[in-house]
Amino acid sequence: MSRVKLNLIAAACKKNMGIGVNGALPWRLKKEMAYFTTMTTKVSDPAKVNAVIMGRKTWDSIPDKYRPLSDRVNIVLTHHVDALKDKVPEGVVVVSGLDGAIEYIETRPDIESTWVIGGSAIYEAAMAHPNCGKIYLTEIQNTYDCDTFFPNIDRQQFHLADEDEIPGERQLEGDISYYFRVYKKL
């Protein structure tokens, strides 16, 4: 069994599980984005770093000034590895699938945690993968028109868990309320 545990992190509308529209987030939530950054960058060992795994469309949706995501090993999954390898900055890893990403991470003892950050197909593959550990889902209480969705969470496989450092109470930013949830794979 691989030492690599996959943590998924996403924000989705609670009603329709929407996560995006036209290659962008349908909301602007500074505190929620700070939570994403903190969760995907914090390490217990200062000599280590975390990895973020994303699909090519998610990579493309990150504004140029934030690409690659700083202080993290960026791994992009695509069916067209050779075409993308020449287009990404040095240090960004391009592989053909989730198993390739896990194999790469296993060669890097300096990677502490692994975060899957989208999109839909990558989340779905990660949730079905035996290395899947937890889903960190921000459940946005408002409803937005979306064209990209988070996969349904199978409550037979994942149960709601409490974590000390994750606030359980309702968050409010402007007129948008949301909850930070953690689902642990059984």
Q: Which is the catalytic residue, given 25, 124, 139, 173?
A: 25
What's at 150, amino acid-wise?
F
The alpha carbon of residue 53 and the mean position of all alpha carbons in its chain are separated, in whole angstroms, by: 7
Provide φ and ψ at 100, rounded to 5°: -65, -40
Please give the full DSSP string across 127-158, using - where no structure is assigned: HHSTTEEEEEEEEESS----SEEPPPP-TTTE
- 6, 32, 84, 137: the active-site residue: 32
What single letter denotes the amino acid at residue 157? Q
25 catalytic? Reply is: yes
Q: What is the DSSP letter of 56?
A: H
Positions annotated as catalytic residues are 25, 32
